[in-house]
Amino acid sequence: MSRVGIMGGTFNPPHNGHIHAARQAMAAMQFDRLLLIPDNVPPHKTMPHGSADSQQRLAMTRLMAQEIPAAEVCDIELRRGGRSYTADTLRALKRELPEAELFLIIGTDMLLTLDKWREPETLCALAGLVTVARDDDDHAALEQKAAWLKEKWNARVWIVDCPALPVSSTDVRADRALCRAMVPPAIYQYIEQQGLYF
């Protein structure tokens, strides 16, 4: 059975924190494939004025994939259109890859709010949850959440033991120097060439 890691995001833009998380998850979990899935419309946040459009986010996600072993870009959420619910994406991937074991790679901020996502029971049934540190995490809170998800929906949770690389797309969009420092050169070049953000 092949092991497929799935990392969804808005990737507006992708940054070294995303790459770090994907590499750490890959090292810990030994995936055969790692799918990077840019969302179409994120359900949990509004896209700020001046954001990259979906084709630009897709192009930058392709550049990010070159930095991560075994990574490939999957545009399933862009093709589906509308709001991008992870439960819909996992159901579709399960149909496409019936033999695969699916794992969702998420930052610890996302594990802590997972029960607020649409159909959390579907997420827990269809994918293992691989959580990567995002900041100075409260480990007790994470363990408690993992135990609660396990009890309630039979979730399978892995908390990857690695240092955090605390950066966000919001930070990067607000500061050109930080963007240059925290985004791979090819993506920074693309941002400049497209006149994005600054």
**Least spacing, CB of residue 92 vs ligand ATP, in Å:** 19
Tokens 């940054």 correspond to what residue? 15
Amino acid (1-letter code) at residue 4: V
Q: Is 109 in the site for ligand ATP (CB under 6 A)?
A: yes
Q: Least CB distance from residue 99 to ligand ATP, whole Å?
A: 25
Asked if 51 touches ligand ATP (CB under 6 A), the answer is no
- 184 forms part of the interface with ligand ATP (CB under 6 A): no
Residue 168 engages ligand ATP in binding (rule: CB under 6 A): yes
13 binds ligand ATP (CB under 6 A): no
Which of 98, 119 has the CB closer to ligand ATP? Answer: 119
Contact status: 18 vs ligand ATP (CB under 6 A): yes
Alpha helices (H) in the chain, listed in sequence order: 16-29, 54-65, 76-80, 86-96, 108-112, 120-126, 139-153, 169-173, 176-182, 185-194
CA 107 to chain centroid: 7
Coil, strand or helix at 8: strand
Residue 85 half-sphere exposure toward CB, CA atoms < 13 A: 10
Stretch that binds ligand ATP, among 93-101, 105-113, 137-145, 183-191 (CB under 6 A): 105-113
Cβ at position 128, least distance to ligand ATP in Å:
14
Q: Which of 9, 19, 179, 196 binds ligand ATP (CB under 6 A)?
A: 9
Report the alpha-carbon distance of residue 113 to residue 139 in Å, rounded. Answer: 15
- Please, what is the minimum distance in Å from the beta carbon of residue 110 to ligand ATP? 4
Query: Binding of ligand ATP at residue 21 (CB under 6 A)?
Result: yes
- In Å, what is the CA distance from 110 to each residue of 52, 56, 57, 100, 187? 22, 24, 20, 23, 25
Residue 115 and residue 157: Cα distance in Å, rounded?
A: 13
Asked whether position 114 contacts ligand ATP by CB under 6 A, the answer is no
Residues lying near ligand ATP in the complex (CB under 6 A): 9-12, 17-18, 21, 106-107, 109-110, 132, 134, 165-170
